[in-house]
């Protein structure tokens, strides 16, 4: 009777939690790199301190991300940066719903009506990213954000609008996650952010009355998904303080809300879902 060759044993399965944990840690590193200015990078020590990962784990994660093109390391300084593959994925994700193209007419209309600077922001994990900007005709420009700038959720009117109108448990979790990052802006400690969130929920819009930059104020509203508690993005207006006094501020909020509602409906029609993380 001919002998049979037994099939090789199946590969050992990696426990599901272990695999999930590795993904979570890699994403934590990517988000830390994304939260810095793209031109400045981060050192290994800074990443180790901020991530809470031990040295050997962080070394393995960075090695894997570099091999896949998601992270780059400067040969002279040794600093780590986001790689072009990661940035390309981000652009592809945004283009899925043609967000900027859909939003552009809304930004232009707001800027024409108000003559102030208008911003479009989206959520990325515990951060807000400015993805577009339209300047108005008023000669004093409030250019408080550049396209691509990231801030912790809660810092600035657009980021506050994205945070404040989330379900309460999710909002509180994000405030806790960002607690260590808020003190980089002395006026925005956890208690200040919590108070701003409470006021935003009560008034129905976010108002930054000079906490980020003195003499500059901003208002923001969420772009609603299926409900207002599922923001798809945020629209905000920034201007000098004199242009944000109560009567005019109410008019700005009304303009923002009208355009945000229309943009949200267009995004929902294309199947857009809230960005989490």
Whose structure tokens read 């448990």? 169
116 and 251 share a domain?
yes
Closest by CA to 42, choosing from 50, 180, 149, 166, is 50
* Lowest-confidence segment of 41-45, 145-149, 224-228 by average pLDDT: 224-228
Judged by average pLDDT, the poorest of 67-81, 82-96, 202-216, 237-251 is 82-96
The reply to whether 243 and 151 lie within a common domain is yes
Q: What are the residues whose beta carbons fall under 8 Å from the beta carbon of 230, sequence distance 6 or more?
A: 224, 274
Specify the CATH number for the domain of residue 55: 1.10.10.10
The answer to whether residue 68 is domain-embedded is yes
H-helix or E-strand spanning residue 176? helix 168-177
pLDDT at 125 over 50: yes
How far is 73 from 91, CA to CA, in rounded Å?
Answer: 21
Tokens of 205: 């819009």
Q: What are phi and psi of 19, to 5 degrees?
A: -65, -40
Look at residue 46 and tell me if it is in a domain.
yes
Other beta carbons within 10 angstroms of residue 213's beta carbon come to 13
What local confidence, expressed as pLDDT, does residue 39 receive? 57
CATH code for the domain in which residue 114 is found: 3.30.450.40
**What count of residues does the chain have?**
277
Q: What is the pLDDT of residue 92?
A: 56
Q: What are the start-end ranges of the E strands in the chain?
A: 71-73, 80-82, 117-124, 127-134, 150-152, 206-208, 216-223, 233-240
Query: Domain check: are 60 and 110 in the same one?
Result: no
SS3 at position 148: coil
For residue 275, count CB atoms less than 10 angstroms from its CB and return exposed for 0-12, middle for 13-18, buried for 19 or more.
middle
Domain containing residue 127: 96-269
Q: Alpha-carbon distance 68 to 179, whole Å?
A: 31
Residue 220 pLDDT class (50, 70, 90 cuts): very high
Contacts of 41 (CB under 8 A, 6+ apart): 33, 74, 77, 79, 80, 81
- Is residue 27, in this structure, part of any structural domain at all? yes
**Segment among 96-110, 247-261, 263-277 with least mean pLDDT:** 263-277
């Amino acid at each position: 009777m001919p002998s049979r060759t037994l099939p090789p044993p199946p590969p050992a399965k990696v426990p599901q939690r272990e695999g999930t944990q590795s993904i979570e840690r890699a994403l934590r590193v990517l988000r830390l790199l994304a939260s810095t200015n793209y031109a400045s990078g981060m050192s290994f020590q800074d990443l180790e301190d901020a991530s809470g990962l031990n040295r050997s784990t962080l070394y393995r994660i960075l090695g894997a991300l570099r091999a896949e093109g998601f992270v780059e390391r400067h040969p002279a300084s040794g600093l780590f940066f986001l790689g072009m593959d990661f940035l390309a994925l981000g652009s592809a994700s945004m283009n899925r719903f043609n967000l900027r193209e859909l939003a552009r007419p809304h930004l232009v209309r707001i800027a024409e009506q108000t003559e102030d600077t208008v911003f479009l922001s989206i959520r990325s994990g515990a951060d807000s990213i400015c993805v577009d900007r339209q300047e108005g005709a008023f000669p004093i420009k409030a250019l408080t954000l550049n396209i691509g700038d990231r801030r912790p959720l809660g810092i600035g009117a657009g980021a506050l609008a994205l945070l404040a109108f989330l379900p309460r448990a999710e909002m509180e979790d994000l405030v806790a996650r960002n607690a260590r990052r808020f003190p980089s802006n002395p006026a925005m400690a956890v208690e200040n952010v919590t108070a701003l969130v409470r006021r935003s929920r009560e008034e129905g819009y976010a108002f930054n009355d000079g906490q980020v930059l003195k003499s500059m104020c901003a208002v923001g509203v969420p772009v609603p998904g299926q409900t207002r508690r599922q923001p798809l993005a945020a629209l905000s207006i920034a201007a000098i303080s004199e242009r944000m006094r109560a009567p005019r501020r109410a008019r700005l909020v009304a303009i923002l809300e009208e355009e945000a509602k229309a943009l949200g409906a267009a995004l929902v029609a294309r199947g857009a879902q809230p960005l989490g993380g």
